Chain A
Amino acid sequence: MSLKKHILDLRKRKEKVQQGGGEKAIEKQVAMGKMTARERILALCDQDSFTEYDLFVEHEARDFGMDKKQLHGDGVIIGTGTIYGAPICIFAQDFTVAGGSLGLMHARKITKIMDHALKMRVPLIGINDSGGARIQEGVNSLAGYGEIFYRNTLASGVIPQLSVILGPCAGGAVYSPALTDFVFVVDNISKMFITGPGVIKTVLGEEITMEELGGARVHAETTGNAHFFAESEQECFDQIKKLITFIPWNNSKKAKSFPPKPPKYKGKIEDLIPSDPREPYDVRDVIGAIVDDSDFFEIQELWAPNMVIGFGRLNGETVGFVANQPLVLAGVLDCDSSDKAARFIRFCDAFSVPIITLEDMPGYLPGADQEHAGVIRHGAKVLYAYSEATVPKITVILRKAYGGGYIAMNSRHLGADFMFAWPMAEIAVMGPEGAANIIFKKEIDSAENPDEMRKLKVQEYKDKFANPYVAAAKGYIDSVIEPSETRQVLLHAIEVSAHKDDSRPDKKHGIPPF
């Protein structure tokens, strides 16, 4: 063959394999409102940046007539590319090839690109769209899953790992996304569950649709398994690209710096907040008034909304926000919001992102359901995550910090580097009413007019304790600041802590209350 012929032959081979499962299967995929695996990768990566590996891999299965079947790429596409110039490793399961089922070579391709990502120290993006294990390959496909989980765990905290659920992801397959840092779902397309509706019907006789059992909304709102919810695949890709701009490539790098921008919000920050600690406001408005360009990128917006987490920039540098949300459940700590905050704090700590905590919380959510759901061990995760973190840790107490919540939300006592409070901040063991009822019980009960006396005593307590100055007098608060100074003070704190050097005792690893 002449050289030209060789090249033409290569092109022909490529073209054939790149068709995936063929026209009919692609039509089906499109009819489900889904893009093909290749289209997805090309939509995510910078133009002409995607380079494919293992296009010509073939499976080795011999049983159940598999020896006569050729599965293009064995149902998965892997390779490298860039997103806004940041290098990434990516795999996308191809549902048009044998339902994206996972056999031995399919898994080998995925683990190959995972090993590559870990070695190159670049983020890994996995697009999941698979019917599950390839049953014809038996235990080999289970082995494949296990080897993926193992690598997810090894890479955890070294490189960012993103999972995109764009189709079914059922049974054991769901554990790979669950081990990664961020999970993206799309309405009507993503389905995740351990046991499907069929099994539930057989065992329980209960009818439940796939959507109700493990649809995108369920995981974004109820289970907390998903971090980002989108209406369409394109919106999902935009979210992924935006996230990539906020996070570093690996745990030894810092996130990319951007040109500093002032917030878009030009009003007074104190106008956003009612002074009565019982009136609600949206803490995201406060974050918007602080961060560059008022651009706050919220994570897990729909799940446990009483805690707000996400990324923003200060002077062009990425920071993570953890904030109580008085608008929902008064901003209490409960099982879900504790899990949400703790995991995010650990991500920030692992990837050198400073943590800014905005505190306005009445305490823990009371109730038998919370106690029985283990709010003690869930709440403890927040304490653990904050105490363990060595990145710059900055707290601003906005209005109230009561009881255990004061300690948990990155207090000085857990190693906060900077503690700021607004002048209306109430820092106390509990709210003034409750405290007065206990401390002055005798006086109130024996008074001629107990209600009058209670009011008097509540005021007395408020004057004495419900302010930031008692804590400031002990040095627990570094500085009581005017709300309008918040951004400047935070910029300064980030600047001062740019070379923070802190460490924890040497150990194999801690034992967080998982």
Chain B
Amino acid sequence: MKENKTEELVDFAILSMKYKTKLTKKFENRKKYEVPNPKHIASHIPGTIVETIAKEGDSLKEGDSILVLQAMKMMNQITMPFDGKIKAIHVKAGDRIPKNHLMIEIE
């Protein structure tokens, strides 16, 4: 451990000061913050798409069901967050998807 102590030293800014230091894997792999897009609907939980109810191009009202995502033995209705038209549906019945997977785009 001792010989490579000064290796991988980088400039690391905290407020207005820059420090010479090493980084951790966890820090380097941290997720950059992204501004959420209200027109994108991503999965809030990993699961399986059971059924797609709406089609691309459908105009729907707030609260209308778009698809059903089964997760942890529950059938979750994914609904329109506001009135709008479906631009794209990126999943189909049978798909297994992770968390934060982009499922639906609204125009």
Contact = CB atoms under 8 A, between A and B. Distances in A.
Interface of A: 203-206, 221-222, 277-280, 282, 304-306, 326-332, 336, 362-363, 365-369, 372, 430-431, 433-434, 437
A426 B26 CA distance: 29
A273 to B, nearest CB: 13
A434 B15 contact: yes
Contact of A328 (B15, B21, B46, B71): B21
Residue among A204, A326, A332, A368 with the most chain B CB within 10 A?
Answer: A204
A326 B14 contact: no
Interface stretch (B27-35, B59-67, B75-83): B27-35
9 contacts: A277-B19, A280-B21, A327-B21, A327-B22, A362-B15, A363-B15, A372-B33, A430-B16, A433-B17
5 closest A-B pairs by beta carbon, nearest first, are A368-B33, A330-B19, A434-B16, A433-B16, A431-B17
Contacts of B16: 430-431, 433-434, 437
Given A365-B14, A434-B15, A279 B24 contact: no
Given A327-B5, A367-B30, A305 B24 contact: yes
Nearest to A372: B33
Interface residues of B, number: 26
Q: Per DSSP, are chain A's interface residues mostly helix, strand or loop, or mixed?
A: loop
A430 B5 contact: no
A204 B99 CA distance: 9
Contact of A330 (B12, B31, B47, B96): B12
Contact of B23 (A329, A363, A369): A329
B21 to A, nearest CB: 4
Contact of B17 (A204, A305, A434): A434
B93 interface: no
Contacts of A328: 21-24
A308 B14 CA distance: 20
B43 to A, nearest CB: 11
Contacts of B26: 222, 336
A431 to B, nearest CB: 4
A5 B23 CA distance: 69
Interface of B: 5, 9, 12, 14-27, 30-33, 46-47, 71, 96, 98
Nearest to B33: A368
Contact of A279 (B20, B22, B27, B46): B20
Given A203-B47, A332-B14, A433-B17, A369 B31 contact: yes
A326 B47 contact: no
A280 B9 contact: yes
A366 B15 contact: yes
Given A326-B21, A328-B21, A329-B12, 5 more contacts: A203-B46, A205-B96, A278-B19, A330-B19, A367-B30
Contact of B20 (A280, A369, A434): A280
A362 B96 contact: no
Contacts of B96: 203-205
Contacts of A304: 24
A329 B47 contact: no
A326 B14 CA distance: 12
Contacts of B20: 278-280
B76 to A, nearest CB: 14
Contacts of B18: 278
A328 to B, nearest CB: 5
Contacts of A204: 46, 96, 98
Residue among B19, B32, B47, B98 with the most chain A CB within 10 A?
Answer: B19
Contacts of A206: 98
B21 A329 contact: yes
B14 A330 contact: yes
A457 to B, nearest CB: 12
B90 to A, nearest CB: 16
Contacts of A221: 25
A327 B23 CA distance: 9
Nearest to A278: B19
A305 B21 CA distance: 12
A437 B17 CA distance: 12
Contacts of A336: 26
B19 A280 contact: yes
Residue among A277, A304, A328 with the most chain B CB within 10 A?
Answer: A328
Nearest to A433: B16
A203 B32 CA distance: 27
Contacts of A203: 46-47, 71, 96
B91 to A, nearest CB: 13
A431 B46 CA distance: 44
A326 B19 contact: yes
Contact of B15 (A326, A367, A372, A430): A430
A129 to B, nearest CB: 29
A433 B71 CA distance: 51
A280 B7 CA distance: 11
Contacts of B22: 280, 327-329
Given A329-B12, A369-B31, A282 B5 contact: yes
